[in-house]
């Protein structure tokens, strides 16, 4: 088995709840800009709202970076609306909430737990060509951080736009980077 | 294909360079404590030293949390010693540097690029039972952050020791957590 | 392909929302009494509430007949609670609402639409031995009738308890029935 | 295994007894109007006549709804004539009685009991495009009701002719129906 | 493919109409005496009654020879009773009329026309050990003769009881037979 | 396995002894007229001559009916000549005696006993289109009757030339036949 | 494919004509003495009698050498008797004439022409252990010589009884032979 | 398995020692004339020289009959030369001595003993069309006779040039032969 | 399994360290001149430097013979540079040092120890057509000799340029050679 | 495919010519001492004698080192004797000359050229446990050197008896060797 890095995302077609509407989202909507696909286990369960609220609070920053966010669970879009209506935290969400009741998208991103029918906490950063550039997967109880995600997306975007320059650890925008050179081998 | 979350690590036996010695490391050495397995592409190449130096600088913190770090590349343990001798950055490393020239370990953690014979940048957090609790995989150029890794390990440890309490997003030690309760459904 | 009539129900284990609690339901809970398993497509969608409300309104009659009802959709038990809180119709339901997010139960009863991840409107009457005695399946838009279901369950129970007596069409409790006899062949 | 809902009926060609004649019936005869295909186990046996007589008594209503009825057993058309001649109940039948001695039609509708060579009591409602819209299957002894069947056909016809309007439970012609709207989600 | 001559009849269990009763007939009932199994296409069709009537008229002779007759069609035993009631010719039959609605017996004797679900006109003579000693199969329209059958059964019985004596063509009881001898080779 | 009735005879090419000559006979020679193919076990053995002599005695009648006879055994045509020379009975034969030493023809008509290399006593009546219309197979010792065969061929010819009229049991030329009509169902 | 030399003859059981009797011959009858198995195409055909007569004329010599001869064709033993009666040449034969109508023996010795059902002219010399020591096979028209066969059998017998002495070409009884020795290598 | 009689020889290409030269011999060299292919086990071993010397002594006769001889062993052509130089017997050989070190030719003529890597004593007579007309195979110690071989080749040539005349046993040139005729059947 | 002699080298593409540069080497670079491919287990391990230093010391001679040397280990080109920088012995190397971290080249030359991920000590001499003309493989501890390799390459080159002349054992440039001739067979 | 290094030699049993005798050699004879197995293409061909003579001239040295030599070609042991008698060079050989006419040994050492039936020039050094420690294979024309072989065997024996000491390139007995130590990594 090999990783999903640099693989093309698989085709999909799904219903999402977005700004009070039911809309159709396909893999083509992810092309031409950077995207974050953010899986979580289940609507109306306990910890997920805080992760999603954390994302909602940083949504403006992602938009400025030219990044769209798609949250995905195996609930239907009907349920997403029901939850959006019922929860104050979820009400803050302005990005599309994709319904994946057949589990196809979760299965294609290899985060579906088949026997439970729900997704693990998996975050995928996808470039404008539709290729997965980085991802992280957590066991069900372990929450993710929106600020860490922002740093990673920035690093991925920087590497993409500065071919030949390498991105050292814990890089932040504005940090100095290293242009690779034979003289550096064994020197750093 | 499903994810590696909660799977048992596969048996392995490898030579490592550790504190001036050549030692044998097996999967059994990872049992009984938390571990981080940290893959990187190649010794003597450019960006890796900064990531590994970042880890080396935070090694004391990991030790306090009861966590051992194992760096892994498909180079031999001979080469790890050669690099350790040659590079000021690598010289700081005090954790075991595993040699995986056959690629077996990298393949089992699904980070091996078969046609290149090198590993992607993959980080795996493993609990004392030898189960993978979270991981992240980056495309070759995108660096990782030791401080983010510390937060994640702390969250994983907290969840493991507080069954029934859930760990919200961006949690830091000392933050308030939520005990799950039916009344919370749809309320947060 | 043959029908499901007289086949044993397949083993399952699921979470349900029942009277303000989350409870576990297995195939063993259906043994020892008559059961109705009632599939519908999705929580928070349009027509289902009326069907489920119709069932809720006749629940007392089913109880008197010694029949338990289990409603099933591919939503989670969390969502069932969320819907029960939100909808006045659903609030009337006192029978267990099973969550089948993995689709296993729906697939085993052959009502799952794989590409949509939701169930058709299927009703199954199961005897105390766990065998399916009758069922009906409707395309998504076509509603079912609780009173018709009551008549069918009564007929099935009557046949089960009066072996050797046959149950003519449109039979209602108290109607005359026919005991089979060679003299009747070709006479009625 | 998935259900037969919305599948196309399989091609068939059979001999039937109809109004004193032997006629050929094919799957094409079912196209262009609504049809009910009504399986029963065996001519000259006990309970079947009452079910078939119940249907015969309501035949006029089905005709007004534009519905043709086809009864099917694995007996030959010769036997259907013999039974029609011999039985006062069967003599009332004016719809085609299909002979299926090879069991092909019963097998294609998944109601054939292979080891007995007879069909279960299965009723199928088929739309003018030849697609199965609803069906019910009973174990051998449990009779069906013509009036329930009429309600179901009416519901199926109503849904077919009022796309976008949904048909609530226990609907009867003239009842109010619900036009789906996003505002209804979670409200009924 | 080889012929059925000298093969053991396959096990079967069937319902038959016999002297006003429904009885069970199995392959074991054919053991211990000579039997004729007489297949025909369909009850209530045209030519079969004359063949069956011809057999019924000679039934006394068969009984005297210690032979039981079993007629078989793919109709049910219910239909056999219905036909026996309705037809003056069939009413004369005193031997068991086996119902083979699943076609198993007809298929095992290789006379079933699968696509029609009916049997060809096949006659099988079976010895007390359950082995087929001779058979004839006719296309559907070509009738059989009871007197010819009697001659054949007598010849088969004679050969069975006079091992070492051979039965010349057109042999009738009382005719001279030939005891085989080396001297006869090439002389007759 | 199904019967050979209405199957096309398989192609063959064989040497025969006919009227003092060695001639080639193929399946094409059987087309365009009615044929009887008459298998027997072995030349120079005991009972066969009487059967073949019986046929030879009635050969004129078959000719008048437009029927050719072909006798077949697994002996060579050389042996047929040798036998014809040696035996007074066989000397009467005027029809072609086919040699089938490879057993191909006997195998194709399913009368070959593979382990013995000889044929059972099988008689096949073939119409001018090369289709088998009736056949009978006897165990080795049980002789056949030429007069019965004549009756059967006449019946087969009558049915072939009077489509729509059916041939009752024991029919003889000149007997009355039944034209099928719906009114006869269940009446005879 | 390898040759038959030194292979064990395959088990067989056959009927033979021998000195006016029909006898059973099996592979076991060939054990304990030297045997010649002599295949030919067909009784009553042209050239075979001369070959067989040639053998018959030398039979006394074979007997003196302790050799039994078995002639084999795919004709039956009945035909062998018929031919023995009819032909002056064949009448001289005193060895067993095996009938192989199923072709099993001919096939096991690899001389059967499957499409013709007859054997090639094959001669096999078999030692008392049942192993084939030499054989020759001729196309159908090419006759064999009994005197050559006698020389070969003598050579085979001589080699068998004088292990370690080798039998030069064209050896005749009484000729000098060579005892193998290292000194002879390259010298003769 | 069937015999090699009348099969086409398989293509081959080999080195041979012939009249002081190393030459290439292929299957095509055998076309257009009669050939004898003469296998023997091994150069420099004991008995072979006498057989080969016997052939060499009769070579002139074969030449007059238009026959070429090819001796074959699994030794190389180098070894054939070495033996020709060393042995007085072999020095007489004027026909091509083929080297078959890979065993391909011996395997194709089915005389190779795989586990020993040497050939049995096999002689094959091949007609100008490249078809094998007769062959004999001896176990290792049993020598062949050149004069017998000459008789057989003459018989094969005679049959080939006198189609329709048959060659009786022990035929020698000038002997009378039999023209086949129907009158001879059973007479000789 | 057969040897690699005279097989074409398999296509490859690799990174090498050569004279202070990272360069790409493919199988095509080996065409058009003689090449030595020299595998060894691992950089920075013990004995390899002396073998490689031995080769480096004789590099001038190889160049004069028109031969390029390629050393190969499963280390990366980065590591080759690191070792070149660190080791006085390796610093002398002027030929390309190929990195084969995926093991593809080592596997194609059949020297990879799969479970260790390192190569055996294998030396391959390849002609300008890319065919392997000789090779030697040693167990891990057994060193090779550059002077022996020079002699072998010279012999291979001599044979290639003097077709028809053979190269005796221990041949050195300038030694007398043997032109093959039939007269030499068995004489030297 | 992997190399033969450290594999166990396969079982074999062969005839050899040794000191004027024919003897049997098996794989067991190679156990308990060091062995050289020396393959060459063919006796009586051109260049082989010089290689073999070179070996014969150094045989005394090999004996002193405790090494037995076995030469192997696909010729028979008869031919080896013939060649030994004929050639002055070969006459010097005192070690066993194995005959491998079936090619089994050559095939097991992967030096057989199947289509030619001869072996490549392959030399194998085998330790007393029967494991192959080094080998070299040359294309047919390229000769080997006995003195190089002696050096290699000495190196292999030295490594075997001095575990933990490594044998540098071009090592000769008496040379200084290196004991491996971590301090040497990257220093030589």
Give me the catalytic one of C30, C48, C67, C69.
C48
Instruction: Name the helix (H) or strand (E) containing G67.
Output: strand G67-73
pLDDT above 80 (res H165): no
Interchain contact, J185 vs B78, CB within 8 Å: yes
pLDDT above 60 (res B187): no
- Convert the pLDDT of each residue in F110-125 to its tens digit: 999 999 999 999 999 9
Q: Decide: residue B49, CB within 10 A, 0-12 exposed, 13-18 middle, 19+ buried.
A: buried
Q: Would strands G34-39 and G21-26 be described as parallel, antiparallel, or unpaired?
A: unpaired
- Which residues of chain E lie closer than 8 angstroms to C182, CB-CB? 20-22, 81
Which band of pLDDT confidence, cut at 50, 70 and 90, is reported for residue D171?
Answer: low
Q: How many CB atoms lie within 10 A of CB E88?
A: 11
Which band of pLDDT confidence, cut at 50, 70 and 90, is reported for residue B169?
Answer: low
- Convert the pLDDT of each residue in G51-60 to its tens digit: 899 999 999 9
Closest-CA residue to F37 (of F147, F119, F118): F119
Those chains having 3 or more beta-carbon pairs within 8 angstroms of chain J are B, G, H, I
Could you please state the CATH topology (level 3) that the domain comprising A13-144 is classified under: Glutaredoxin (3.40.30)
Give me the catalytic one of I16, I30, I36, I48.
I48
Chain C interface includes A42 (CB < 8 A)? yes
| Mean pLDDT calculated for residue range F48-59 | 89
Helical pair I77-86 and B77-86, crossing angle rounded to 10 deg: 60
Asked if residue F106 lies in contact with residue F100, where contact means CB atoms within 8 angstroms, the answer is yes
Q: How many CB atoms lie within 10 A of CB F29?
A: 18
> Best of B12, B49, B82, B104 to disrupt the I interface by mutation (most I CBs within 10 Å)?
B82
- Which residues of chain D lie closer than 8 angstroms to F182, CB-CB? 20-22, 81
Q: Percent of chain E scored above 70 by pLDDT? A: 85
Q: Which residues contact D150 (CB under 8 A, 6 or more apart)?
A: D58, D61, D62, D65
Helix (H, G, I), strand (E, B) or coil at H180: coil
Closest-CA residue to C20 (of C94, C124, C109): C94
Instruction: Name the helix (H) or strand (E) containing J21.
Output: strand J21-26
Chain B interface includes I43 (CB < 8 A)? yes
- Which residues of chain B lie closer than 8 angstroms to I100, CB-CB? 117
Chain D interface includes E130 (CB < 8 A)? no
Query: Are 3 or more Cβ–Cβ pairs between E and J shorter than 8 Å?
Result: no
Which positions 154-173 of F are in contact with E (Cβ < 8 Å)?
155-156, 159, 166-171
Round to whole Å and give the CA distance between G23 and G29.
12
| Mean pLDDT calculated for residue range H152-171 | 77
CA dihedral of residues B5, B9, B15, B18 (deg, nearest 10): 60
Q: Would you please indicate which residues of F are annotated as catalytic (active-site) residues?
A: 48
Chain C interface includes A27 (CB < 8 A)? no
Interchain contact, D78 vs E42, CB within 8 Å: yes
Helix (H, G, I), strand (E, B) or coil at D49: helix
Asked if residue C133 lies in contact with residue D138, where contact means CB atoms within 8 angstroms, the answer is yes
Which band of pLDDT confidence, cut at 50, 70 and 90, is reported for residue D2?
Answer: confident
Provide the b/e sequence for F31-61 (b: ≥16 CB within 10 Å): eeebbbbbbbbbbbbbbbbbbbbbbbebbee
Which band of pLDDT confidence, cut at 50, 70 and 90, is reported for residue J147?
Answer: very high
pLDDT value of residue I167? 54
Round to whole Å and give the CA distance between F127 and F130.
5
Asked if residue B32 lies in contact with residue B128, where contact means CB atoms within 8 angstroms, the answer is yes
Chain D interface includes E83 (CB < 8 A)? yes
pLDDT value of residue J81? 95
pLDDT above 60 (res A180): no
Query: Are 3 or more Cβ–Cβ pairs between B and H shorter than 8 Å?
Result: no
- Convert the pLDDT of each residue in G151-180 to its tens digit: 999 999 988 988 766 655 566 666 655 555
Architecture of the domain defined by D13-163: 3-Layer(aba) Sandwich (3.40)
Q: Which residues contact H157 (CB under 8 A, 6 or more apart)?
A: H34, H65
Q: How many CB atoms lie within 10 A of CB F10?
A: 12
- Convert the pLDDT of each residue in E23-72 to its tens digit: 999 999 999 999 999 999 999 986 567 889 999 999 999 999 999 999 99
pLDDT value of residue C172? 62
Among the ranges given (C128-142, D37-51, E90-104), the one the predictor scored with the smallest mean pLDDT: D37-51
pLDDT value of residue H2? 85
Interchain contact, I166 vs J47, CB within 8 Å: yes
pLDDT value of residue A67? 97
Helical pair F146-161 and F48-57, crossing angle rounded to 10 deg: 50
Round to whole Å and give the CA distance between B15 and J175.
31
| Mean pLDDT calculated for residue range F20-29 | 96
Interchain contact, I143 vs J136, CB within 8 Å: no
To the nearest whole angstrom, how far is the Cα of C39 from the nearest Cα of chain A? Answer: 15
Q: Percent of chain E scored above 90 by pLDDT? A: 74
Phi first, then psi, for residue H101 (nearest 5°) are -60, -30
| Mean pLDDT calculated for residue range A132-151 | 91
Among the ranges given (B68-72, D29-33, G165-169, J126-130), the one the predictor scored with the smallest mean pLDDT: G165-169
Which band of pLDDT confidence, cut at 50, 70 and 90, is reported for residue F49?
Answer: confident
pLDDT value of residue I6? 95
Beta bridge partners of D37: D70, D124
Which band of pLDDT confidence, cut at 50, 70 and 90, is reported for residue F140?
Answer: confident
Round to whole Å and give the CA distance between B167 and B162.
9
pLDDT above 70 (res I188): no
- Which residues of chain E lie closer than 8 angstroms to D118, CB-CB? 76, 101
Which band of pLDDT confidence, cut at 50, 70 and 90, is reported for residue B159?
Answer: confident
pLDDT above 90 (res E185): no
Chain D interface includes F186 (CB < 8 A)? yes
Round to whole Å and give the CA distance between H44 and H50.
12
E strand segments, chain H: 13-18, 21-26, 34-39, 67-73, 97-99, 112-113, 118-119, 121-126, 132-138
E strand segments, D20-161: 21-26, 34-39, 67-73, 97-99, 112-113, 118-119, 121-126, 132-138
Longest dimension (CA), chain H: 60
pLDDT value of residue F180? 54
Give me the catalytic one of J37, J48, J118, J125.
J48
pLDDT above 90 (res D96): yes
Round to whole Å and give the CA distance between G98 and G72.
5
pLDDT value of residue E92? 95
Which band of pLDDT confidence, cut at 50, 70 and 90, is reported for residue A90?
Answer: very high
Q: How many CB atoms lie within 10 A of CB C160?
A: 16
Q: Which residues contact E123 (CB under 8 A, 6 or more apart)?
A: E36, E37, E38, E39, E135, E136, E137, E144, E149
pLDDT above 90 (res E140): no
Which band of pLDDT confidence, cut at 50, 70 and 90, is reported for residue E128?
Answer: very high
pLDDT value of residue J163? 73
- CB nearest to H138's CB, from G134, G139, G147: G134
| Mean pLDDT calculated for residue range J55-70 | 96
Instruction: Name the helix (H) or strand (E) containing I146.
Output: helix I146-161
Query: Are 3 or more Cβ–Cβ pairs between D and E shorter than 8 Å?
Result: yes
Chain F interface includes E1 (CB < 8 A)? yes
Asked if residue B23 lies in contact with residue A155, where contact means CB atoms within 8 angstroms, the answer is no
pLDDT value of residue C166? 59
Round to whole Å and give the CA distance between G14 and E15.
47
To the nearest whole angstrom, how far is the Cα of B120 from the nearest Cα of chain A? Answer: 9
Helix (H, G, I), strand (E, B) or coil at F137: strand
- Convert the pLDDT of each residue in C46-103 to its tens digit: 656 788 999 999 999 999 999 999 999 999 999 999 999 999 999 999 999 999 999 9
Average pLDDT for runs of 10 along chain G of length 188: 91 96 96 96 80 94 97 96 93 97 96 94 97 94 90 91 66 59 57
Nearest CA in chain H to G132: H139
Q: Which residue has the tokens 């000590």?
A: I121
Q: Percent of chain H scored above 90 by pLDDT? A: 75
ipTM above 0.90, yes or no: no
pLDDT value of residue I105? 97
Asked if residue C59 lies in contact with residue C69, where contact means CB atoms within 8 angstroms, the answer is yes
Nearest CA in chain J to B78: J185
- Convert the pLDDT of each residue in C4-16 to its tens digit: 999 999 999 999 9
Nearest CA in chain J to I187: J87
Interchain contact, A170 vs B146, CB within 8 Å: yes
Which band of pLDDT confidence, cut at 50, 70 and 90, is reported for residue D47?
Answer: low
CA dihedral of residues C161, C167, C170, C172 (deg, nearest 10): -40
pLDDT above 70 (res B148): yes
pLDDT value of residue C47? 59
Closest-CA residue to B185 (of D70, A49, D177): A49
Chain B interface includes C76 (CB < 8 A)? no
To the nearest whole angstrom, how far is the Cα of B156 from the nearest Cα of chain J? Answer: 39
To the nearest whole angstrom, how far is the Cα of A119 from the nearest Cα of chain I? Answer: 34
pLDDT value of residue A120? 94
CATH of domain G13-145: 3.40.30.10
Tokens at residue D59, please? 């035949």
Those chains having 3 or more beta-carbon pairs within 8 angstroms of chain F are D, E, G, H
pLDDT above 70 (res F130): yes
Helical pair A48-57 and A146-161, crossing angle rounded to 10 deg: 50
Could you please state the CATH topology (level 3) that the domain comprising I13-184 is classified under: Glutaredoxin (3.40.30)
Using alpha carbons only, what angle is made at residue D127 by residues D125 and D128, rounded to the nearest 5 degrees?
140
Mean pLDDT of chain F: 89
Instruction: Name the helix (H) or strand (E) containing J39.
Output: strand J34-39
Domain parsing of chain I, residue ranges: 13-184
Q: Decide: residue G24, CB within 10 A, 0-12 exposed, 13-18 middle, 19+ buried.
A: exposed
pLDDT value of residue G150? 95
pLDDT above 70 (res J39): yes
- Which residues of chain H lie closer than 8 angstroms to J76, CB-CB? 42-45, 75, 117-118
Q: Which residues contact A171 (CB under 8 A, 6 or more apart)?
A: A151, A155, A158, A177, B143
Long-range contact pairs involving E20-27 (C-beta distance under 8 Å, separation at least 24):
E20/C182, E21/C182, E22/C182, E22/E77, E22/E81, E23/E96, E25/E70, E25/E96, E25/E98, E27/E130
- CB nearest to G155's CB, from H114, H134, H142: H142
Q: How many CB atoms lie within 10 A of CB E26?
A: 11
Q: A9: left (phi > 0), else alpha (psi -120 to 50), else beta?
A: beta
Round to whole Å and give the CA distance between B94 and B90.
9
pLDDT value of residue A50? 84
pLDDT value of residue B43? 93
DSSP states of A62-97? HHHTTEEEEEEESS-HHHHHHHHHH-HHHHT--S-E
- Convert the pLDDT of each residue in F80-89 to its tens digit: 999 999 999 9
Gyration radius of chain I over CA positions: 17
Q: F133: left (phi > 0), else alpha (psi -120 to 50), else beta?
A: alpha
């Amino acid at each position: 088995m090999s990783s999903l890095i640099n693989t093309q995302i698989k085709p999909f077609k799904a219903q999402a709840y977005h700004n009070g509407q039911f809309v159709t989202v396909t893999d083509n909507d992810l092309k031409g800009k950077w995207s974050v696909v953010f899986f979580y286990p289940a609507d109306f369960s306990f910890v997920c709202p805080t992760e999603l609220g954390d994302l909602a609070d940083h949504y403006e920053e992602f938009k400025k970076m030219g990044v769209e966010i798609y949250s995905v669970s195996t609930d239907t879009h009907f349920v997403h609306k029901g939850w959006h209506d019922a929860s104050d935290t979820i009400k803050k969400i302005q990005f599309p909430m994709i319904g994946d009741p057949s589990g196809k998208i979760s299965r294609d991103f290899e985060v579906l737990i088949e026997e439970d029918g729900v997704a693990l906490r998996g975050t995928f950063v996808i470039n404008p060509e539709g290729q997965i550039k980085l991802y992280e997967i957590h066991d069900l109880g372990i929450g993710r951080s929106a600020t860490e995600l922002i740093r990673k997306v920035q690093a991925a975007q920087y590497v993409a736009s500065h071919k030949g320059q390498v991105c050292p650890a814990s890089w932040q925008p504005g940090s100095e980077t290293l242009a690779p050179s034979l003289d550096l081998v064994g020197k750093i």
